[in-house]
Amino acid sequence: MKKYYKLLAPLSIAGFFMLPTNSIMAGNPDRAGQAGASELLINPWARSSGWAGCNIAGSRGLEAMFTNVAGTAFTKKTEILFARTQYLVGTGININSFGLTQRVGETGALGLGIMAMDFGDIPITTTEQPEGGIGTYSPQFMNIGLSYAKGFSDNIYGGLALKVITEKTSNIKAMGVAFDAGIQYVSGKHDQLKFGISLKNVGPRMQFRGDGLSFKTPVPSSTSGGTMTVEQRSDKFELPSLLNIGAGYDFYFKKDSVLSKTNRVTVMGTYTSNSFERDQFKLGLEYGWKNILMVRVGYAYEEGLLKSDTRTNVFTGPSAGFTVEMPFGKNKSTFGLDYSYRATNPFQGTHSIGARINL
């Protein structure tokens, strides 16, 4: 009976998370471009982006705040992570990220994640001066996330996250909130089998406000040359909600399966249902040696990706990356470096590098 309960519990929870998605997840590619706050779809972390973000079922620690917040429950004590991403090399866009997760209680973990986009200095242009020469401006996009995750048993983990979204320039601004929820289920003698589901970016619509939406215009039929201020109101826009369902399995060499676990090969797969873009199938493969060296590859496929005249995504599918993580100190703390590359067309790809400390 206990065996059947372990299988029934994660399936029941997964069904609960999927119930509200009937009205959220349209899965209609014709709606592409109708959502805002698309930076919520950008993975700023190097380790998980190295295999196309397919590790919904196996993400652990701070990076799980982006993929599946339930994975932050695996934080052993304290994890600190920095990352920098050169996004679509050639555009001048950079992403700086910082995060911290902290173990609380026996099975819980709190997380904080900050992602800020740097667009550089953009020339200001007007209808009278379309070539610029009157200064520059720099948009500020920032996401701040707070999360809590907990292990409910040796097999089931769940988590929730609240994200505050800010998009602004000097005279216009939009703010919003979004919620993420996720579960992970692990099974097997060495927790080889993994299953995960996450619901992301669910929240109320956002709207831009500010002086940048107003302008002065001459008063009609005025003989004195008077002017009036016209204030425009922007329409509200939806958030790019999505649902991820993933599974994975760890393979160990026969001589390593019981004691050392020296050589590991992990296979991951995820299906992503996008509410405002085409759905995706993601596959990934990672080789790990003693949890010191990890090399991974991934591929994200969507309909029309392989034909230039039907492709609508700047990312062409392949990604790759590696991790070097070295232990130090008496408490088995580690320091790690992560790197990932995601292929794009046009532009020259996206590079991410990160540094993490596990205390």
Question: Quick one: pLDDT at residue 34?
Answer: 79
Q: Is the pLDDT of residue 303 over 50?
A: yes
Residue 10 and residue 195 in contact, taking contact as beta carbons nearer than 8 Å:
yes
Q: Is the pLDDT of residue 19 over 50?
A: no
Q: For the chain, give the mean pLDDT.
A: 88
Look at 23-27, 181-185, 207-211, 284-288 and tell me which has the smallest mean pLDDT: 23-27
The CATH number given to 42-202+241-358 is: 2.40.160.60
Quick one: pLDDT band at residue 24, thresholds 50, 70, 90?
A: very low
Q: How is the chain split into domains, by residue range?
A: 42-202+241-358
Residue 196 and residue 68 in contact, taking contact as beta carbons nearer than 8 Å:
yes
Question: Quick one: pLDDT at residue 148?
Answer: 98
Residue 26 and residue 272 in contact, taking contact as beta carbons nearer than 8 Å:
no
Q: Quick: pLDDT tens for 225-252.
A: 677 778 888 889 999 999 999 999 999 8
Question: Quick one: pLDDT at residue 257?
Answer: 54
Cα→Cα distances 245→113, 239, 251, 270, 287, Å:
23, 19, 21, 6, 22
The CA distance from 243 to 277, in Å, is 12
Q: Quick: pLDDT tens for 267-297.
A: 999 999 998 889 999 999 999 998 899 999 9
The CA distance from 157 to 161, in Å, is 14
Q: Quick: pLDDT tens for 84-112.
A: 999 999 999 999 999 999 999 999 999 99
pTM of the model: 0.88
The CA distance from 306 to 304, in Å, is 6
